[in-house]
């Protein structure tokens, strides 16, 4: 019974940490987006332009791969996305990648520190 309780507590702990990570990631992404939009207007405009080009490239690739679904995708998926939405998505992906890199690095440092302590 205690093994079941420990497993349940570990599962709930992981779910709580993952939920907190996603919330923090969303907040950091929005703060970065707002910071760019308010304080670095030229950079923000350039990034929106790049996002627009990326969205247009995606639409062109979709037309090449599946011309039949192209019109339907343009009216449903691509019509809903704006370049600013794509930019926010990309900022979120960058924040997520940086968060994972930091977490991976910290775990590596902790593991190396523990192995050095054990060998000393």
Task: In whole angstroms, give the CA distance from residue 10 to residue 57.
Answer: 44
Per-residue pLDDT at 1 exceeds 70: no
Residue 38: pLDDT band (50, 70, 90) is very high
**Count of domains for the chain:** 1
Question: For residue range 76-85, what is the model confidence (pLDDT) as tens digits?
Answer: 666 677 888 8
8 A C-beta contact, residue 99 and residue 25: yes
Share of the chain above pLDDT 90, in %: 50
Sign of the alpha-carbon dihedral angle for 82, 84, 87, 88: negative
| Rounded mean pLDDT, 99-119 | 87
Q: Is residue 72 predicted with pLDDT exceeding 90?
A: no
Which domain covers residue 81, as residue numbers?
A: 2-119
Nearest one of 40, 49, 60, 42 to 87, comparing CA atoms = 49
What is the residue-averaged pLDDT of the chain?
87
């Amino acid at each position: 019974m205690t093994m079941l309780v420990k497993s349940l507590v570990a599962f709930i702990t992981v779910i709580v940490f993952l939920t907190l990570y996603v919330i923090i990631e969303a907040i950091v992404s929005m703060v970065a987006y707002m910071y760019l939009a308010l304080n670095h207007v030229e950079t923000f405009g350039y990034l929106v332009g790049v996002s627009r080009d990326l969205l247009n490239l995606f639409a062109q690739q979709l037309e090449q791969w599946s011309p039949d679904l192209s019109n339907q995708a343009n009216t449903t998926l691509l019509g809903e996305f704006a370049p600013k939405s794509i930019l926010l998505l990309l900022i979120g992906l960058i924040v997520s990648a940086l968060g994972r890199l930091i977490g991976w690095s910290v775990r590596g440092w902790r593991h190396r520190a523990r192995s050095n302590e054990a060998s000393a």
